[in-house]
């Protein structure tokens, strides 16, 4: 199809799924002004399925969703959400020591953090607790599976005995420390265990769309370059991002600046890709994820 002037019309924008957490701003700030993109916000746990179903073409999705995906997915090394030590916003809160945890109530926003929690508890504390979904916003513990007994001691009031929280709520709406004396930063524990960074999410796309001969390949390569450039631009203006967004996201400005500058990592370098492979291998070894091949986009 052509316009009356004989020129091809502008193609439909590429659908891009992302997360509206404060920690994603160094990757996504400014993308909304790009005419080539149509942005779709969702919690991390939904983006993998949106990508597999074709609702978005590229997503900032979790590694676990890549491993579990019904269609092959390819990692785009243009940006990630990761850490190289403490992560601040992925944390277990417990009223009992970690080696006595029986039930882990898991924030339903993230799949990768849930698997990481199980890896850390198994490898470091030698416990394999029952995992239950926990709606952290409504403070509702979901019913246990039919073949799992409900632990009558797992909930006190509106907070479970042991829970995993992720995202901004760890800073803005975490439980009182006096009730939860045992806390674990999962990024820090992973670093102690492996001496590697950890990658929670990375840009990814359907592998078929970037295969040789795919009509989508050149467009997605172009968008991958755009995402890489935007990450580089944003990491050069972190002060502005913090000043512009911290207050509205209920973050203390000084903590927000330390968070994006000191805690988080956004560039998927060689060590980060090695960490992806190590994490997927650890999870597969425990039988909590299928074996997964890491496919990295190459120009």
pLDDT band for position 6 (50/70/90)?
very low
Question: What are the residue boundaries of the structural domains of the chain, listed by start?
Answer: 14-81+198-255+264-285, 90-194
User: What's the confidence (pLDDT) of residue 45?
Assistant: 85
Architecture of domain 14-81+198-255+264-285: 3-Layer(aba) Sandwich (3.40)
pTM of the model: 0.87
Task: Please check whether residue 224 is in contact with residue 203, taking contact to mean a CB–CB distance below 8 angstroms.
Answer: yes
Question: How do residues 71-127 score in pLDDT, each as one tens digit?
Answer: 999 999 999 999 999 999 999 999 999 999 999 999 888 789 999 999 999 999 999
DSSP reduced 3-state for 168: coil
Going across the sheet that includes 14-18, the strands are 37-41, 14-18, 58-62, 198-206, 73-83, 264-265
* Dihedral, 288, 56, 269, 82 alpha carbons, nearest 10: -60
Distances (CA, A) of 144 to 132, 200, 256: 6, 26, 36
Tell whether the model's pLDDT for residue 148 goes beyond 50: no
Q: DSSP letter at 263?
A: I
pLDDT band for position 289 (50/70/90)?
very high
**pLDDT top residue among 267 and 144:** 267
Topology of domain 90-194 in CATH is D-Maltodextrin-Binding Protein; domain 2 (3.40.190)
Whole-number Å distance between alpha carbons of 150 and 132: 10
Question: How do residues 15-24 score in pLDDT, each as one tens digit?
Answer: 999 998 899 9
pLDDT band for position 153 (50/70/90)?
very low
**pLDDT top residue among 163 and 107:** 163
User: What's the confidence (pLDDT) of residue 168?
Assistant: 82
Please state, rounded to an integer, the average pLDDT across all residues of the chain: 89
Distances (CA, A) of 7 to 2, 4, 159: 5, 7, 60
- Which DSSP string corresponds to 215-250? TTHHHHHHHHHHHHHHHHHHHTTHHHHHHHHTTTTT
Which whole number is the average pLDDT over 35-62? 95
Question: How do residues 167-208 score in pLDDT, each as one tens digit?
Answer: 888 888 778 888 999 999 999 999 999 999 999 999 999 999
Give exposure, 147-178, as e/b (b: 16+ Cβ within 10 Å). Answer: eeeebeebbeeebbbbbbbbbbbbbeebbeee
| Percent of the chain surpassing pLDDT 90 | 76
Same fold, 14-81+198-255+264-285 and 90-194: yes
pLDDT band for position 62 (50/70/90)?
very high
User: What's the confidence (pLDDT) of residue 70?
Assistant: 93
Enumerate the H helices of 41-165 as residue ranges: 44-52, 63-68, 111-125
């Amino acid at each position: 199809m052509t316009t009356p002037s004989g020129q091809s019309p502008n193609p439909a924008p590429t659908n891009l799924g992302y997360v509206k957490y404060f920690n994603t701003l160094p990757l996504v700030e400014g993308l909304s002004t790009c005419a080539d993109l149509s942005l779709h916000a969702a919690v991390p746990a939904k983006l993998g399925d949106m990508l597999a179903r074709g609702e978005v073409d590229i997503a900032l999705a979790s590694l676990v969703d890549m491993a579990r995906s019904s269609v092959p997915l390819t990692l785009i090394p243009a940006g990630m959400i990761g850490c190289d030590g403490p992560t601040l916003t992925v944390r277990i809160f417990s009223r009992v020591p970690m080696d006595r945890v029986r039930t882990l109530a898991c924030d339903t926003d993230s799949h990768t953090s849930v698997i990481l929690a199980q890896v850390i508890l198994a490898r470091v504390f030698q416990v394999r607790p029952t995992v239950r979904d926990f709606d952290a916003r409504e403070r509702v513990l979901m019913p246990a599976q039919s073949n799992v007994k409900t632990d009558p001691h797992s909930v006190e009031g509106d907070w479970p005995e042991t829970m995993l929280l992720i995202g901004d709520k760890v800073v803005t709406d975490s439980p009182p420390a006096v009730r939860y004396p045992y806390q674990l930063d999962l990024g820090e524990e992973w670093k102690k265990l492996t001496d590697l960074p950890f990658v929670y999410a990375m840009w990814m796309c359907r592998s078929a769309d970037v295969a040789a001969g795919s009509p989508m390949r050149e467009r997605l390569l172009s968008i991958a370059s755009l995402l890489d450039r935007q990450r580089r631009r944003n990491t050069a203006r972190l002060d502005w991002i913090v000043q512009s967004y911290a207050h509205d996201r209920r973050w203390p400005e000084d903590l927000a600046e330390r968070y994006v500058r000191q805690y988080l990592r956004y560039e998927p370098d060689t060590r980060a890709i090695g960490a992806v492979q190590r994490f997927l291998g650890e999870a597969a070894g425990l039988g909590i994820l299928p074996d997964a091949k890491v496919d990295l986009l190459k120009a």
